[in-house]
């Protein structure tokens, strides 16, 4: 440790502790303070005043139970810290030891303060600059030798011991068990001895530090055939069934097999519960359950008691677990010839109504014609029996299955009929049954030409039209005439050409004379036909009019000097579309 200069102000204290955390001391002036705290990582110098505070952490540890010296030094207006002759460590705290020494309100606190835990340890040689050494003795013990000298006096004491710092807190080598420099009693307690310690091992462990596990299974601690399993610091017994206790020493009640028909579950040495098999009950499953007690079998069946259930012996005609199901005896074909099967208990019944058969299964044919009520079957006819039915051959004038209806299509003796065919013939008379059950005769009408309707009452309207053949004929005739005209024209042109060739043309006069102007001047005896006119019909009509004129036959000459009279014929045609229906 360096020798402080005269102008420096120092505060020093020797400390011995094993505490990990807590406040060691605090210097409090009228305006600010500085304190030293133990932390998990080292120590912190904490400065505070009325406006702010700051913390200066240092990586220094001295909580090893040995004596250490801590010095605060103010030099040239700056504060430094020194631990066991270590180099000076500058602090950030602007605290002034010089002012603190002369401050009449200065206070020095060791240990805990408000909202602050205290360290546990020893202090000695507390010095503040050149003031007398601080005394932790009461005032009456401290004495009055410093009345004329400036010094600090004790104000209050709490948890202060004056035994020379030889208490168990610091002579106890076992106190900080598990720390780096502490003794290692792994599985046991530590006991202090002179200048050392002694491990008192837990049960199941041995060795200087109680680190060796004792194998208790070598002594066979498990009773009643239990299996021993060694564990860390002990053992465990896996007991045989129905045995209890840490060493299987207790024999449970289930070992005596109290459950007659069930499984025993043991809860303690004397408490158990039986889970009964199906069909048994009671505390020990000794009672068989009577499932027939509630009469589950129906329809006269007999209940047979079984273990865990029952069995129903059904009477004939019933089936099922409780004989509730009636057996359906109406199998296909039970009733013949369309008979309706009615299921009965252990049998069936056939309803043969309207089948034409009788008997238990409708197999016997009924001869309706031989019954005394024959008049109800064929009223106006002859009855003929057949399998399952009968037929009536009706007398003339009657129809229907029973020949009970008059034929509406035949006249009676007065030549009167019942049908309503006004313009037609009555056909297909038949008897039908109405929903009410009443029978009526019906028929159909075959209408005469020109009439229609259910009773032939409606007259069919006539539509006149020219058939396509009537149009095609005249058109074909016209085409033929046109072809003939073309041929004749070709013939006359050819002959005229031949007559005009050479030096003499006797037919020139004939061809160019005034006889060419009408047909009456041509008297070669052949008929002449010409198209006189082709006219379009009035607007918005599709008609086409064609007029053809023929030359007269050779005129008849009379004995007089008068001119011959020629008789010609003119045809006029009109072509228009026809709506053929």
Structural domain includes residue 258: yes
| CA–CA dist 88, 538 (Å, integer) | 144
Do 24 and 159 lie in a common domain? yes
Q: How high does pLDDT run on average in the chain?
A: 78
| Residue 431 maps to a domain | yes
Residues 164, 227 share a domain: no
CB-CB contact of 402 with 389 (8 Å): no
How far apart (Å, rounded) are the C-alpha atoms in residues 76 and 74? 7
Decide if 195 is inside a domain: no
Measured CA distances, 401 to 21, 371, 396, 404 (Å): 127, 17, 14, 8
Range of weakest confidence among 136-145, 196-205, 327-336: 136-145
More confident residue, 438 or 116: 438
Position 225 pLDDT exceeds 70:
yes
Q: What is the pLDDT of residues 367-391, one digit of tens each?
A: 878 775 555 678 888 888 888 888 8
Q: According to the model, what pLDDT value does residue 346 have?
A: 86
What is the SS3 assignment for 537-561? CCCCCCCEEEEEEECCCCCECCCCC
Looking at the structure, do residues 89 and 156 belong to the same domain, yes or no? yes
Q: Are residues 315 and 373 in the same domain?
A: no
d(CA 346, CA 329): 7
pLDDT in tens, 553-575: 444 444 434 444 444 445 555 54
Rounded CA-CA distance 111/564 in Å is: 182
User: Both 56 and 164 in a single domain?
Assistant: yes
Q: Are 30 and 50 found together in one domain?
A: yes
Per the structure, the complete domain to which residue 307 belongs is given by 294-326
pLDDT on residue 176: 52
Higher per-residue confidence, 80 vs 553:
80
Tell me: pLDDT of 359 over 80.
Answer: yes
Query: Mean pLDDT across the stretch 331-357?
Result: 89
pLDDT at 152 over 80: no
Residue 507 is assigned to a structural domain of this protein: no
- One domain for residues 457 and 532: no
Q: Determine what percent of the chain is predicted with pLDDT higher than 70.
A: 72
Do residues 260 and 247 share a domain? no
Are 448 and 413 found together in one domain?
Answer: yes
Give a yes or no: residue 344 inside a domain: no
> What's the whole-model pTM score?
0.32
Write down the pLDDT at residue 149: 58
Same domain, 247 and 257: no
Total count of domains within the chain: 7
Q: Is the pLDDT of residue 169 over 70?
A: no
Which residue did the predictor score with more confidence, 476 or 350?
350
DSSP notation for 477-511:
HHHHHHHHHHHHHHHHHHHHHHHTSSS--TTHHHH
* Residue 490 resides in a domain: no
CA distance 199 to 182: 12
């Amino acid at each position: 440790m360096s020798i402080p200069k005269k102008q420096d102000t120092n505060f020093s204290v020797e400390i011995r502790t094993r505490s990990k955390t807590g406040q060691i001391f605090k210097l409090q002036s009228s305006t600010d303070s500085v304190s030293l705290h133990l932390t998990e990582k080292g120590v912190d110098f904490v400065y505070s005043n009325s406006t702010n505070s700051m913390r200066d952490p240092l990586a220094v540890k001295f909580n090893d139970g040995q004596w250490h010296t801590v010095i605060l030094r103010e030099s040239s207006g700056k504060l430094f810290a020194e631990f066991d002759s270590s180099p000076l460590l500058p602090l950030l705290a602007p605290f002034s030891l010089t002012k603190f020494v002369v401050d009449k309100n200065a206070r020095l606190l060791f240990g805990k303060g408000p909202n602050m835990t205290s360290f546990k340890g020893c202090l000695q040689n507390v010095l503040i600059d050149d003031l007398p050494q601080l005394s932790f003795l009461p005032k009456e013990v401290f004495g009055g030798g410093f009345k004329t000298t400036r010094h600090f006096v004790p104000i209050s004491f709490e948890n202060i011991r004056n035994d020379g710092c030889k208490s168990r807190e610091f002579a106890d080598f076992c106190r900080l068990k598990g720390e780096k420099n502490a003794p290692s009693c792994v599985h046991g307690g530590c006991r202090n001895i002179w200048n050392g310690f002694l491990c008192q091992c837990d049960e199941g462990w041995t060795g200087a530090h109680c680190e060796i596990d004792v194998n208790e299974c070598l002594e066979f601690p498990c009773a009643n055939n239990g299996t021993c399993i060694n564990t860390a610091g002990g053992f465990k017994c896996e007991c045989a069934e129905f045995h209890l206790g840490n060493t299987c020493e207790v024999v449970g009640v289930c070992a005596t097999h109290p459950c007659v028909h069930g499984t025993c579950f043991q809860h303690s040495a004397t408490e158990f519960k039986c889970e009964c098999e199906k069909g048994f009950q009671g505390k020990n499953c000794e009672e068989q359950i009577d499932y027939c007690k509630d009469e589950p079998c129906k329809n006269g069946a007999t209940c047979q008691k079984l273990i865990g259930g029952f069995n129903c012996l059904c009477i004939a005609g019933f089936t099922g677990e409780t004989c509730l199901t009636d057996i359906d005896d109406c199998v296909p074909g039970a009733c013949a010839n369309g008979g309706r099967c009615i299921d009965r208990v252990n049998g069936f019944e056939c309803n043969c109504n309207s089948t034409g058969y009788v008997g238990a299964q409708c197999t016997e044919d009924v001869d309706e014609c031989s019954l005394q009520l024959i008049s109800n079957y064929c009223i106006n006819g002859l009855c003929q029996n057949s399998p399952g039915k009968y037929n009536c051959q009706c007398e003339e004038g009657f129809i229907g299955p029973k020949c009970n209806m008059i034929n509406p299509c035949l006249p009676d003796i007065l030549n009167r009929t019942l049908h309503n065919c006004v313009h037609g013939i009555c056909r297909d008379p038949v008897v039908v049954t109405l929903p009410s059950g009443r029978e009526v005769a019906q028929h159909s009408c075959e209408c005469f030409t020109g009439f229609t309707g259910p009773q032939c009452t409606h007259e069919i309207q006539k539509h006149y039209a020219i058939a396509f053949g009537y149009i095609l004929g005249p058109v074909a005739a016209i085409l033929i005439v046109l072809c003939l005209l073309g041929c004749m024209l070709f013939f006359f042109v050819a002959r005229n050409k031949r007559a005009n060739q050479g030096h003499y043309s006797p037919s020139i006069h004939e061809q160019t004379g005034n006889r060419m102007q009408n047909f009456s001047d041509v008297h070669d005896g052949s008929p002449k036909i010409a198209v006189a006119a082709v006219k379009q019909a009035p607007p918005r009509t599709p008609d086409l009019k064609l007029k053809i004129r023929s030359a007269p036959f050779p005129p008849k000459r009379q004995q007089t000097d008068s001119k011959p009279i020629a008789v010609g014929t003119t045809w006029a045609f009109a072509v228009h579309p026809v709506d053929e229906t």
